[in-house]
Amino acid sequence: MVKTEEVEDAYKVAKERYAEIGVDTEAAIKQLNKVKLSVHCWQGDDIHGFLFPGQELTGGIGVSGNYPGIARTPDELSGDLSEALSLIPGSHKVQMHAIYAVTDKKKDLDEIEPEDFSYWVDWAKKEKIGLDMNGTFFSHPKVKHNFTLASPEKDIRDFWIEHGKRTRAIANYFGKELGQQSVNNLWIPDGFKDNPIDKATPRLRLIESLDEIDKKQYDEKNTIEAFEGKLFGTGIESYTVGSHLFYNNYALTRNKLWTIDAGHWHPTEDVSDKFSAFLPFGKGLMLHVSRPVRWDSDHVVIFDEALVRIARSLVRDNELSKTNIGLDFFDATINRVAAWVIGARATQKALLQGMLEPIDQLKKAELNYDFTTRLAETEELKSYPFGAVWDEFCLRNDVPVGNDWLDNIHQYEKDVQFKRN
């Protein structure tokens, strides 16, 4: 078990080392404490939800593994989330999906209401956290030939338009009840497996559907919409209606948020480069932090180079205030609560490392064409004792330091999760 005195002693040394290059570690800790992550609920139950028990995952969605202890009820899932949040430093939010409605009535996606999420609002109030929302446009019989809002059939479009309207009302309810803006994210699986003849008409239908969904005005203090594109999906390899450029333009012209999912791009693209290209024009971003292996496989986020680049860009370009950071991955080959903790803490570590840079000095060197200093200093920073600052951050937030949190997981498995099977 990590000793408090050792953490504090190491932090004193690190604080002095960083001060030598003009970095205030106290300011970095304070800055990181302000960043709220939106933890995704669907890691805890492999995206099953509670609205349609036993329904198969479709629409390009799939989860690998069968690790014991999956959450099967609202109480089990909220309990697992509470355990995870107790091991993640700071105060955060949780992302919901429409299929996580808790109701004793049989309802379809076009019938859900804010009251069907009162369970989650009551839980969030106890945890003192906010809630974000996602419409569930997959794993449903009305996803017809991979089409929802862009479907050529009006009755299909109307069903999903009504669903979209209801998710907005639920997000507004979250914001009003919890006093924190709720981001309502929209992603759809619409597209073609093989080459289409008509690429324009499905997008015109999608525009019309989205405009209809967003017709009612809500106070942005409570909720705002975000739109998530994709390069391609399983079963729609040749054409995606809601492409990145489509939603980029839709968000710009409707003054909404654009969602960037780190796994939805070509493997050779640098996702972090998108932020500064969009934000000078756009209202803001919803970021889904994921880890694509080969492509959009939604592996648990780790502290890798791609994540570091994402975090550094947000910090260096002062874009955190316009960016909502959410997690989006699902892995059933490991403990599901541990997955949340690993991904969230990795994201926070990457942000902290970005905050522990003499950014103004480095920008000045770059402005003066002193690329030698820029390269030398950024290389040296890689071996600076940022881990000691991270441990201090955890200590101050009263969460386990180092790998001590894993002891909590093992005990939670023994006492709670493994008893479910």
- The catalytic position among 140, 288, 299, 349 is 288
Residue range 142-157: mean pLDDT, rounded: 97
Q: Does 264 qualify as catalytic in the annotation?
A: yes
pLDDT band at 291 (very low <50, low <70, confident <90, very high): very high
Is the CB of residue 337 less than 8 Å from the CB of residue 316?
no
d(CA 14, CA 387): 9
Q: What are the pLDDT digits (tens) for 155-170?
A: 999 999 999 999 999 9
Is the CB of residue 81 less than 8 Å from the CB of residue 39?
yes
DSSP 292: E
DSSP 328: -
d(CA 330, CA 39): 12
pLDDT at 63: 85
pLDDT at 43: 97
Is the CB of residue 182 less than 8 Å from the CB of residue 132?
yes
pLDDT band at 145 (very low <50, low <70, confident <90, very high): very high
Q: Does 228 qualify as catalytic in the annotation?
A: yes
Q: Binding site annotation covers 264?
A: yes
Greatest CA separation for the chain: 68
Residue 228, SS3?
Answer: strand
CA 84 to chain centre: 15
Q: Does 230 qualify as catalytic in the annotation?
A: yes
Q: Binding site annotation covers 296?
A: yes
- The catalytic position among 298, 331, 357, 391 is 298
Rounded to 5°, the CA angle 333-334-340 comes to 125
Task: Report, in angstroms and rounded to the nearest whole number, the Rg of the chain calculated over CA atoms.
Answer: 22
d(CA 179, CA 176): 6
Fold classified for 36-357: TIM Barrel (3.20.20)
pLDDT band at 58 (very low <50, low <70, confident <90, very high): confident
Q: Is 175 left (phi over 0), alpha (psi -120 to 50) or beta?
A: alpha
Torsion, Cα 416 417 420 421, to 10 degrees, reads -140
pLDDT at 53: 87
- The catalytic position among 296, 331, 357, 391 is 296
Torsion over CA: 413, 101, 216, 228 (sign)? positive
pLDDT band at 285 (very low <50, low <70, confident <90, very high): very high
Q: Name the token pair of 182.
A: 């709720």
How much of the chain is in helix, strand and coil states, percent to nearest 5? 45, 15, 40
Nearest CA to 223 out of 256, 253, 184 is that of 184
Q: Binding site annotation covers 145?
A: no
What are the extents of the domains in the chain? 36-357
- The catalytic position among 45, 116, 328, 392 is 328
- The catalytic position among 187, 258, 340, 405 is 187
pTM of the full predicted structure? 0.96
- The catalytic position among 40, 93, 142, 230 is 230
